[in-house]
């Protein structure tokens, strides 16, 4: 991750001028505020602002039936109840805003989550930096034979080196042509240069972009459940892991409930549940007589920690 001297100075200035407030704050998240948390080779995530905490979730849930008790253990129990029974609106009372630097191809996946407010760095008005994402060798993999949108075994040796060289050369050449079309540096007074909104179309998808991304906690949990899943693409998982650290600092009780009832839990279909009941009754059940397809049977076996065969 690289920050310019101006960017670093701006961060230090923001952190050096705290403002008094009457609203709830979270010390662990305040310690992260404005600081860039590295992601991939040149990317980062910065927490810019937030609203609410674990107590805000409890307050929103209790407004319908009065104050009740306010002991920490009971607050945690209520948050777990809300998560367990999928009462989502209390979690929407918390919101957070991030500044994210990420490759364009990751941004195109990310933007599919339409429940956030986004403002992206505009290459119509500004010039994109000469920074590209290049995977570490261990993340260069062949196409999976079992998953059309996943990776298989890692490439090795000369083949991996060739792929990295191609990625680096293509990105560098395209950015050089981008700069040449813009006629920015070094500037040739004899040339007018192409409009920025047109020159940008030549850039590769591993070029870095930036945006501000604001989202409520309920929808952030949904993002993390999908993009932090082992089946998600590695590059967006890297960002989900960084976001997760900030959420854990921000709302630790809600984060633990999310882990217990979403991330580390399993959802069983009616047919899967019927198979589990047969197993508990002492019946030996195989895929052939389970009523489940092979993929669903494998998912059930994985959830139960049993071999699929």
Asked if 90 and 223 count as a contact pair (C-beta separation under 8 A), the reply is no
Alpha-carbon distances of 198 from 32, 123, 201, rounded to whole Å: 38, 9, 6
Measured CA to CA, the distance from residue 236 to residue 225 in angstroms comes to: 12
Q: Judge whether 206 and 105 are in contact, CB under 8 Å.
A: yes
**Looking at the DSSP assignment, which residues form a beta bridge with residue 269?**
none
Characterize the bridge pairing of strands 141-143 and 117-120. unpaired
Strand order in the sheet with 43-51: 36-39, 43-51, 95-103, 208-216, 117-120
3-state SS class at 215: strand
Is 15 assigned a catalytic role? Answer: no
Residue in 227, 245, 262, 306 annotated catalytic = 227
**CA distances from residue 288 to 132, 151, 251, 292, 307 in whole angstroms, order as listed:** 49, 29, 45, 8, 14
Q: Which residue bears the tokens 């905490």?
A: 53
Active site residues: 227
């Amino acid at each position: 991750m690289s920050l310019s001297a101006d960017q670093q100075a701006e961060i230090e200035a923001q952190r050096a001028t705290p403002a008094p407030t009457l609203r709830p704050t979270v010390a662990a998240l305040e310690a992260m505020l404005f600081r860039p948390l590295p992601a991939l080779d040149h990317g980062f995530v910065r927490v810019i602002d937030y609203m609410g905490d674990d107590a805000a979730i409890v307050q929103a849930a209790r407004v319908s039936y009065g104050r009740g008790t306010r002991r920490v253990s009971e607050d945690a129990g209520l948050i777990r109840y809300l998560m367990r029974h999928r009462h989502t609106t209390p979690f929407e009372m918390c919101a957070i805003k991030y500044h994210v630097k990420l490759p364009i191809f990751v941004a195109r996946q990310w933007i599919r989550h339409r429940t956030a407010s986004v403002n992206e760095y505009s290459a119509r008005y500004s010039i994109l930096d000469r920074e590209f994402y290049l995977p570490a060798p261990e993340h260069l993999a062949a196409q999976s034979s079992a998953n059309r949108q996943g990776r298989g075994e890692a490439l090795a040796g000369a083949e991996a080196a060739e792929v990295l060289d191609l990625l680096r050369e293509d990105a560098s050449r395209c950015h050089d042509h981008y700069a040449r079309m813009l006629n920015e540096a070094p500037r040739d007074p004899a040339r007018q240069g192409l409009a920025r909104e047109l020159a940008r179309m030549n850039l590769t998808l591993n070029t870095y972009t930036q945006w501000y991304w604001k989202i409520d906690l309920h929808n952030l949990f949904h993002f993390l459940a999908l993009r932090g899943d082992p089946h998600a693409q590695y590059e967006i998982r890297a960002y989900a892991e960084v976001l997760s650290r900030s959420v854990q600092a921000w709302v630790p009780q809600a984060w633990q409930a999310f882990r217990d009832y979403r991330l580390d839990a399993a959802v069983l279909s009616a047919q899967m549940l019927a198979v589990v009941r047969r197993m508990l009754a002492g019946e030996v059940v195989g895929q052939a007589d389970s009523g489940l397809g092979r993929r669903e049977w494998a998912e059930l076996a994985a959830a139960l920690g049993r071999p699929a065969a």
